[in-house]
Structure 1
Amino acid sequence: MAIRYPMVVGLNKGHKVTKNVQKPRQCRRRGRLTKHTKFVRDMIREVCGFAPYERRAMELLKVSKDKRALKFIKKRVCVHCRARTTLAWG
């Protein structure tokens, strides 16, 4: 917040105040990975392995076909942002 001056008129009128910083609301953390969720996903991944489409995407990444891998996963999961996160896992 800008420094306030003891002026009567204008944008900075009034006395100096410090901004009351509030904690972000609980609903804002939707979609963020927690420790427990990460642990559970890693455990499931260890037991089950990768899905066939994920294995093919990893093969594409090994031969430096990043764009092709993204397009392939996007076709499988139907959403661009989910495809990006899937690529980040693999």
Structure 2
Amino acid sequence: MAPSVASGGIAIGLNKGHVVTKRMPAKRPIAMRGKGQKRTLFVRKLIREVVGFAPYEKRITELLKVGKDKRALKVAKRKLGSHLRAKKKREEMSTVLRKMRYLCIFLSSHCIFSSQFL
């Protein structure tokens, strides 16, 4: 299908056709699927902060620390039941590890009570 060209209001030629104003369709709910509501995301974050990680999640993080990504995926798959969910969980745990490492480095370099003051 050829790319659409704006109509010029003439009867013949490449730019033929009646001049109309394009309507922008409203955003359908399916387009926003998976985004998550602000309140729900806040509650989940708060629960994670208070409760911490499940034992299998701790095991996955330990496996990721030593570089056993495939084994971490297998553990997650066995616990969660689906390959897609397992991949998502492994990615989530690696993100958590990355953030923890960054926070550790940030605190050690910007902390008032670093080793030079002790």
TM-score range, shorter chain: 0.7 to 0.9
The structure with the largest alpha-carbon Rg is 2
Instruction: Provide TM-score, normalisation by structure 1.
Output: 0.73
Q: How many residues of Structure 1 are paired with residues of Structure 2 in the alignment?
A: 89
Which runs of no fewer than 5 residues in structure 1 stay unpaired? Answer: none
Mapping for residues 6-85 of structure 1, pairs under 5 Å: 6=10, 14-85=17-88
The root-mean-square deviation of aligned C-alpha atoms, in Å, is 2.6
Identity of aligned residues (%): 48
Which runs of no fewer than 5 residues in structure 2 stay unpaired? Answer: 94-118
Query: 1:24-57 CA deviation, whole Å, 9 max, x = no partner?
Result: 2124423322322221111111111100100000
Q: Distance in 1 between matches of 2:87 and 2:20?
A: 44
Instruction: Provide TM-score, normalisation by structure 2.
Output: 0.59
Q: Is the 8 Å Cα contact of residues 4 and 15 (structure 1) preserved in structure 2?
A: no
| Larger RCO (CA under 8 A, 6+ residues apart) | 1
